[in-house]
Amino acid sequence: MLKYHHVTSSRAFLSAATVGEGPPVIFLHSNAGDRREWYASMKGCVGTTHQAVAYDRRGFGETTAEREDHSAIADLIAVLDAVTDGAPAVLVGCSMGGKIALDATLRHPARVCGLVLIAPSVEGAPRPDHPPGIADTVAWAQAAEASGDPGRAAAAKARLWLDGPLASEGRVGGTARQLFLDMIGIALRTPAVGSNLDRAPAYGRLDVVTVPTLVVQGNLDFPHIQARSRHVAATVPGGSWHEIGGVGHLPALERPDEVASLVSNFLARYLG
């Protein structure tokens, strides 16, 4: 059963949920979700061996925050200090959550003992150069987001980040799409919370990461994100790679059991 917490970090109250007992595994959501993105996976992978933690970042889910420039890494450390026993954590991050996981590992290496990165963003990575077909889809989505219509903007984000630009619109339906639209709807309605100050480039420092690292990528995601993920897996010493076929940017929504299995196997192999 999930336990709920509110963690203070500067002028924010971060809403967190935990399940299980033991060494901590922290789940960091994408910019298209909130902590619920991970619920099905985290419940399926911890058993009685680890404590799983997921929290809503500023601007997402049930977290509340006054507008201020802030550090997403400092928020993560505040959660670690508040709801774990202080042991080094495994960080599981998707997209922007993966960026925060990498940044935190580089800044606070003693606080992290492993990484599972799903389609991670990386500060300092090359900007995308979309092929024509995808560029047209991106332009359409940007116009929808600029329209001021929250429903149209949410549908455009679902097209890009849930269905995937290499698949047809509406590919993912059912409860996964309903959850996505609910999470992104909250993010679109939340007032701006200020700028994230964590801007130190990580792309050229990946060889400094020394913890076990698994990079996971769906093959229906943007080509530049797939290439970036492969670069991370190949550059981090001891990094490994796993591709999930028929999935876009958010495998934890589409294949939560498969993500849970990947995390469980990672924990057993490197930290068992």
Residue 37 pLDDT more than 70? yes
Q: How many domains does the chain have?
A: 2
With cut-offs at 50, 70 and 90, classify the pLDDT of residue 59: very high
Q: What are phi and psi of 91, to 5 degrees?
A: -105, 125
C-beta atoms surrounding 260 within 10 Å: 20
Encode pLDDT of 244-258 as tens digits.
999 999 999 999 999
With cut-offs at 50, 70 and 90, classify the pLDDT of residue 271: confident
| Average pLDDT for 208-219 | 98
Identify the pLDDT of residue 45: 80
Encode pLDDT of 216-266 as tens digits.
999 999 999 999 999 999 999 989 999 999 999 999 999 999 999 999 999
Q: Is 154 in the same domain as 264?
A: no
With cut-offs at 50, 70 and 90, classify the pLDDT of residue 90: very high
> Would you say 69 and 76 are in contact if contact means Cβ atoms under 8 Å apart?
no
Which of 4-13, 42-51, 134-143, 185-194 has the least mean pLDDT? 42-51
> Would you say 202 and 208 are in contact if contact means Cβ atoms under 8 Å apart?
no
Assign 141 to helix, strand or coil: helix
The reported pTM is 0.97
Beta bridge partners of 114: 90
Q: Is 219 in the same domain as 120?
A: yes
Pairing of strands 64-65, 112-118: unpaired
Q: Is 197 in the same domain as 111?
A: yes
Q: Is 150 in the same domain as 107?
A: no
Encode pLDDT of 126-144 as tens digits.
999 999 999 999 999 999 9
Domain around 224: 3-126+192-271
Length of the chain: 272
Identify the pLDDT of residue 188: 96
Among 144, 170, 189, which residue terminates a domain?
Answer: 189
Cα separations in angstroms, 67 against 59, 150, 167, 190: 10, 21, 37, 11
Nearest to residue 151, comparing CAs of 115, 103, 188, 114? 188
With cut-offs at 50, 70 and 90, classify the pLDDT of residue 115: very high
Encode pLDDT of 144-168 as tens digits.
999 999 999 999 999 999 999 999 9
Q: Is 227 in the same domain as 261?
A: yes
Among 189, 204, 232, which residue terminates a domain?
Answer: 189
Cβ neighbors of 31 (< 8 A, separation 6 or more) are: 95, 96, 187
With cut-offs at 50, 70 and 90, classify the pLDDT of residue 199: very high
> Would you say 101 and 92 are in contact if contact means Cβ atoms under 8 Å apart?
yes
| Average pLDDT for 179-187 | 98
Residue 44 pLDDT more than 90? no
Q: What CATH code is carried by the domain that includes residue 14?
A: 3.40.50.1820
Q: Is 15 in the same domain as 67?
A: yes
Distance, in Å, from the CA atom of 63 to the CA atom of 34, rounded to the nearest integer, reads 10
With cut-offs at 50, 70 and 90, classify the pLDDT of residue 43: confident
With cut-offs at 50, 70 and 90, classify the pLDDT of residue 47: low
Q: How many CA atoms lie within 13 A of 136 on its CB side?
A: 3
Q: Is 39 in the same domain as 153?
A: no
At how many degrees (to 10) do helices 174-189 and 150-157 cross? 130
| Average pLDDT for 36-41 | 96
